[in-house]
Structure 1
Amino acid sequence: MQLNIENIDSLKNAHVILPTKESFQYPEKVLQFGTGVLLRGLPDYYINKANQSGFFKGRIVVVKSTNSGGADAFSEQDSLYSVCVRGTVDGTLVEEDIINNSISRVINANTEWNKILETASNKDLRIIISNTTEVGIVDSDDKIMDAPPASFPGKILAILYKRFEVSPENGFVILPTELISNNGETLKKIVVNLAKKNNLGSEFVDWIITRNHFCNTLVDRIVPGAYNNENLSYDDKLMIMAEPFGLWAIESKEEEVKQILEFATIDKGIVITPSIEKFKEIKLRLLNGSHTLTCALSILSGFETVKQSMQNETFYQLVKTLLLEEIGPAIQSDTISENDITNFSNSILDRFSNPFLEHKWLSIATNYTEKFKLRCIPILDKWYNKYQSIPQFFSLGLAAYLQLLSSDIDISDKSQNTIRELWKSSSNPINAILKETSFWGQDLTIYDGLEEKLAFYLDKNLQKNAIQYMSAILKNTNISDEK
């Protein structure tokens, strides 16, 4: 049986959470660029959750900007799709299946551009969400009278110009979720410059700047992609899986933004805040940093996936210690509290332990050196400046990185050949690699004691004894909680 509106009443006993009948009648309040799984698994998930609770009461018009893949599945299923939430929360297994009806329709920008422009005349529609990938928010020389403009900023500008013509009192809240720094501000600058290139007038440019809110955002949720839940009694070509954790941090201090984004109160995972820098730092150091610092240790220990590593008690305690005893204290500040660190660290332990995710360590190791530089070296710097010492588990992670990249295990990292050469040819390879500014952007021998600590750990042959050595080190730490 195909999932669609006609068949939905027959699913009442299918152990799935169904949308209310009223929610199908809600007006369109959101214009969304993109049909991808992240959008459907995070913002659309939250909007649906708000709708089913009886507030916000708004649906999403989705713009499809590519011809590949087609919108046939959305049409066949009346834009309904299943979200299967799978993972652990506080160590407890979570399995929840939800039919999401937040999307009202999907419009193809290349063949139905006029329909998209018509949405600008809808005064209820005050929100624009996007995920066009990092290459979507780029400078262009679009002509906005083209149908459609070629670029994403060009399409946004055309919609803004239409709204300016028909309803200038109602600007938009624009929420790009693309994974670039300052995504809202970047999009705003490009759109304003494009308006000037198109000679649309100073009054319109001023309206873009003063009546619309381009918000920087940060999104964090693992949505692996298409999912096949054989336990459900219907066919769904759009079914996705998502982990329980979700974060959508939205940067704004404007009360109007909070009023328009009424759905934001439905879940603690949505945060509207004057600055999202805190959330960016926490995610980059605790989540991404711990991944990078434990990656080589996992591969050397013979673990293929993250969940497999976390099933090992020693490795679980290592991650916990690294988060709470090293990375956390290093980044704690006036804006990042101990409570922030503890809560996010606990969520990471759940996320890494998710039995439904197949996150492979060799994939995580791609571009390993660049990731280490961006994610981890700032942790070392913060720790060293605070405590004038070298963090123990950080050093172990860096030593494992050196052991891995100098070994015969091939990693997708452009620096590996250079590291192998230095390891073979240098009389002091650790010193030579630490001094290699092309890797780190600086000379790491400035951190007194780092070279000696790495030499000590590498002497233990981590490729053969990683787990045993991790266990020995943990016995001297403060964290002794059982998993």
Structure 2
Amino acid sequence: MNVKLNKSHIASNSTHLSKHLNLPDPKVFDLPEKVLQFGTGVLLRGLCDYFIDKANKQGIFNGRVVVVKSTDKGGADDFNEQDGLYTHSVKGIENGEAIEEYILNASISRTLSARNQWQEILYCAKNPAMQIVFSNTTEVGISLLEGDKITSNPPTSYPVKLLAFLYERWQAFKGSPESGMVIVPTELIVGNGDLLKEIVFKQAHANALEPAFIEWLEQHNNFCNSLVDRIVPGKPEKEAIEELQQKLGYEDNIMVLSEAYRLWAIQGDEKVRKVLSFAQADSGVVIENDIEIYRELKLRMLNGTHSLQCGMAYLLGFRTVKDVMSNGYLSRIITNLMLGEMSLAIPYKIDAKTRDRFGRMVLDRFRNPFLNHKLLDITVQYTAKMKMRNIPILLQYYKEFGKAPELFAMGFAAYLQFMHGVKEVNGTYYGESNGEFYPINCNFAPYFYEAWQAGFDLEKVLANVSLWGEDLTKLDGFTDAVRKYL
């Protein structure tokens, strides 16, 4: 099929498409750009841009998104060839009923490459309607890079790209209070907004920016902690895409699939709530002064369990989450891990009924028959995820019970085994399982490759404070528990 999804195709085929798709009003293409979004990933498009599109269709937010593609991989061609349009397939279980919906998302106005169109991105700062920044640059994207300059074209790190944009805006509007932005990172980092703000301020001082700018940055910009919770595994399988494209009559290279469940919890006050008016369109957006309970439940029970089971299940020959959950033995392990260990050691006071109810809802989401959530996708930046999501659970478990959590140790051992690189090709490390090579997409792949090549000293690895933030050999019995499964 050679017919591309774009505005002209939608306009000339709206009668046919409206039978299958939730279509936007053509007036949406004239709405002002209100959001600058760093990242093109499926999570942003399947959750954040989903809420923007839904609000626009209800006549609430009335604004569109400029997407910044920050990585060197690929370009913005697919997005721009399709005029930013993409198909969003929503499938899952909601309130006990199967949900299946197809949405034509028109929230994205254009996509710009940071590498090739940096000046155009900075020009967006002069737009008075633009008040919001979203980002998802993975857990390693919000980090301090020494020597990164706002005068670079473009700066290297996301925080300095953001700083350069905010500095441009301050200059354009002469520091007016109304020109401040609401900045909502969605990276899976505890206190992501606080951390981003801290790094942006450090870089502002390192770049010797004016005190008046730093004062404006402090007083008139909101860096909001947030958490996102929706499984967005990406494109549907090839056969499903072909069937859907045959039905719709167009090709879509940036189609996304997601579950029905959605949650975006944002820490903010009335000012933030007013700017993020799209929240009115869906109860899945929660704006509150304290979002800790949402963060802890999601980060520990969903993300943490994912991280502990994905390596083990992959090495056992499984490839998707739903296939793992269809196996009685592994399903019981995951259920017991989540409800019998993870939920008991969340480092935040949450009542037992809330924990149990949330956990059983997560298990139902894991079993979603519509989603082919690939285990390999969950292993991306495996070490950073393990440290962030699970080490606090481990430490809290020892405080509560004074012993090693057995199923946690099993999952942790599987993670270490998954990180056993056996070869390196052009900078990518590969492990081997059942005669099949798999990529280890983790910044610490070189470290583990060398550790395994040297015979793998488990105690040395567990004692590495730079990896875990703690010496894990000091946890009585944990080294032995991991060694048993390893």
Structure of higher CA gyration radius: 1
How many angstroms does 1:137 deviate by?
4.2
Specify the alignment match of 2:185 in structure 1.
Answer: 176
5 Å-filtered alignment, 1:190-205, equals 190-205=199-214
TM (norm. structure 2) is 0.75
5 Å-filtered alignment, 1:44-83, equals 44-65=49-70, 68-83=73-88
Q: Choose from 348, 365, 372 the match for 1:351.
A: 365
Distance 1:166 1:212 in 2: 15
Specify the alignment match of 2:263 in structure 1.
Answer: 247
Does the CA-based 8 Å contact 2:227-2:295 persist in structure 1? yes
Does the CA-based 8 Å contact 2:462-2:479 persist in structure 1? no
1:119 maps to amino acid: C
Q: Choose from 6, 9, 14 the match for 2:8.
A: 6
2:10 maps to amino acid: I
Does the CA-based 8 Å contact 1:73-1:237 persist in structure 2? yes
Q: Provide Cα deviations, 1:224-256, integer angstroms capped at 9, x if missing partner.
A: 33445222321112212223233323223x321
Distance 1:404 1:114 in 2: 42
Does the CA-based 8 Å contact 1:406-1:420 persist in structure 2? no
2:298 maps to amino acid: K
Does the CA-based 8 Å contact 1:89-1:350 persist in structure 2? no
Q: Choose from 126, 134, 137 the match for 1:129.
A: 134
Distance 2:21 2:51 in 1: 17
Determine if the alignment matches structure 1 residue 446 to structure 2 residue 448: no
Distance 1:17 1:124, change over 3 A: same
Distance 1:320 1:189, change over 3 A: closer
Does the CA-based 8 Å contact 1:119-1:125 persist in structure 2? yes
Distance 1:159 1:246, change over 3 A: same
Distance 1:315 1:126, change over 3 A: same
TM (norm. structure 1) is 0.76
Does the CA-based 8 Å contact 2:88-2:102 persist in structure 1? yes
How many angstroms does 1:402 deviate by?
5.7
Distance 1:420 1:93, change over 3 A: farther
Q: Choose from 26, 29, 36 the match for 1:31.
A: 36
Q: Choose from 253, 257, 262 the match for 2:272.
A: 257
Q: Provide Cα deviations, 1:433-460, integer angstroms capped at 9, x if missing partner.
A: 799645982346636xx899x69xx8xx
Distance 1:366 1:444, change over 3 A: farther
Give the number of aligned pairs. Answer: 442
How many angstroms does 1:400 deviate by?
7.3
Specify the alignment match of 2:234 in structure 1.
Answer: 225
Determine if the alignment matches structure 1 residue 187 to structure 2 residue 217: no
2:471 maps to amino acid: G
1:208 maps to amino acid: L
RMSD (Å) for aligned C-alpha atoms:
4.1
Does the CA-based 8 Å contact 1:140-1:151 persist in structure 2? no
Determine if the alignment matches structure 1 residue 213 to structure 2 residue 219: no
Does the CA-based 8 Å contact 2:39-2:69 persist in structure 1? yes
Distance 1:143 1:445 in 2: 42
Does the CA-based 8 Å contact 1:88-1:353 persist in structure 2? no
Does the CA-based 8 Å contact 1:90-1:346 persist in structure 2? no
Which sits farther off after the overlay, 374-383 or 123-132?
Answer: 374-383
Q: Choose from 156, 162, 165 the match for 1:159.
A: 165
How many angstroms does 1:101 deviate by?
0.5
Q: Provide Cα deviations, 1:5-62, integer angstroms capped at 9, x if missing partner.
A: 1121414333111112332332211112222222212211111111112201111122
> What are the ranges of 5 or more consecutive residues in structure 1 without an aligned counterpart?
423-431, 464-483
Does the CA-based 8 Å contact 1:82-1:97 persist in structure 2? yes
Distance 1:258 1:372, change over 3 A: closer
Distance 1:197 1:13 in 2: 56
Does the CA-based 8 Å contact 1:296-1:404 persist in structure 2? yes
Q: Provide Cα deviations, 1:239-286, integer angstroms capped at 9, x if missing partner.
A: 12223233323223x321111111123333322233444333323321
Percent identical: 42
Does the CA-based 8 Å contact 2:301-2:359 persist in structure 1? yes
Specify the alignment match of 1:288 in structure 2.
Answer: 303
Distance 1:240 1:146 in 2: 33
Distance 1:136 1:434, change over 3 A: closer
Distance 2:118 2:414 in 1: 55
How many angstroms does 1:404 deviate by?
9.8
Does the CA-based 8 Å contact 1:91-1:350 persist in structure 2? no
Distance 1:445 1:239, change over 3 A: closer
How many angstroms does 1:193 deviate by?
3.3
> What are the ranges of 5 or more consecutive residues in structure 2 without an aligned counterpart?
421-430, 434-439
Does the CA-based 8 Å contact 1:90-1:350 persist in structure 2? no
How many angstroms does 1:363 deviate by?
7.2
User: SS of 2:16's equivalent?
Assistant: coil
How many angstroms does 1:297 deviate by?
6.8
How many angstroms does 1:139 deviate by?
3.0
Q: Provide Cα deviations, 1:272-316, integer angstroms capped at 9, x if missing partner.
A: 233444333323321233335555775687655431231234544
Distance 1:210 1:404 in 2: 44
Which sits farther off after the overlay, 189-198 or 35-44?
Answer: 189-198
2:5 maps to amino acid: L
Q: Choose from 389, 398, 402 the match for 2:409.
A: 398
Distance 2:479 2:76 in 1: 56
Distance 1:400 1:162 in 2: 47
Does the CA-based 8 Å contact 2:403-2:476 persist in structure 1? no
